[in-house]
Amino acid sequence: MAFDMNSFSLQGKVALVTGASHGIGMAIAEAFAAAGAEICFNCSNQASMERAVEKYNSNGIQVHGYVCDVTNEDQVDDLVSRIREEVGIIDILVNNAGIIKRIPMTEMSAEEFRQVIDVDLNAPFICSKAVIPGMIEKGHGKIINICSMMSELGRETVSAYAAAKGGLKMLTRNICSEYGKNNIQCNGIGPGYIATSQTAPLRERQPDGSRHPFDQFIVSKTPADRWGIVDDLKGPAVFLASDASNFVNGHVLYVDGGILAYIGKQP
């Protein structure tokens, strides 16, 4: 049987990408739009939502922006209902919204730990729970959780983030286990170190022209010998959102330039 390239198309699909006002979320939303999907996204405040809508529009992408706190179950339920009424039943959910607090564990308060867990783990649970009934009604659905290399590895100062992302990996597998029979595929993407505005200070050249120590560290640990860019995540995201991945479920696709496969260079 000939392979149908249309299986990668998202034409006619409704996608919700949480926290897609910039960075990885925006890149994924742009890729989905290019593949034919109708894009919905949320921000936590009106101003950032309006700025993001303007940016999408300036790039020729029509989007539906909403203000919603994804850690608030009532707000998320209302968001999903509004999207259903205004755009359609959600076919694709990307749980992208996230935060990180780099604080040594013994200096981190329980409240700070809970804040990270709330955004990075509880919110994907809340959003997934809200969209799954509509996906069951439609007879299909795709959920993509933005995991992390910290779903597999630990590092100093990121105890809450690693705990949340490790939990998100297992939530991904459990949604697969519970709703695979409903033709819902839940997978994760685990980005490596991605060059964004947030990581720019870590890549600045030193006064003597040398690389920042953290930049040196990351490149030395990456077989690809570079940082990733947000465009590196577009193809994997479209694949996991499309019919081309209909038998891929409960998997985390690490887009990390090979870091997790590599022991590192000998000193």
Helices and strands in the chain: count of H runs, count of E runs: 8, 7
Residue 193 annotated to the active site: no
253: left (phi over 0), alpha (psi -120 to 50) or beta: beta
Q: Are 196 and 23 in contact (CB under 8 A)?
A: yes
Which entry of 161, 179, 193, 254 is annotated as an active-site residue? Answer: 161
Give the separation between CA 194 and CA 22, rounded to whole angstroms: 13
Contacts for 79 with CB less than 8 Å, ≥ 6 apart: 16, 42, 66, 68, 130
Long-range contacts of 45-52 (CB under 8 A, 24+ apart): 48/21, 49/21, 51/21, 52/20, 52/21, 52/22, 52/26
Give the separation between CA 95 and CA 143, rounded to whole angstroms: 8
| Residue that has been written with the tokens 């696709």 in this structure | 253
> 103 by DSSP, 3-state: which?
coil
Q: Exposed, middle or buried by CB within 10 Å (0-12, 13-18, 19+), for 266?
A: exposed
Residues with active-site annotation: 161
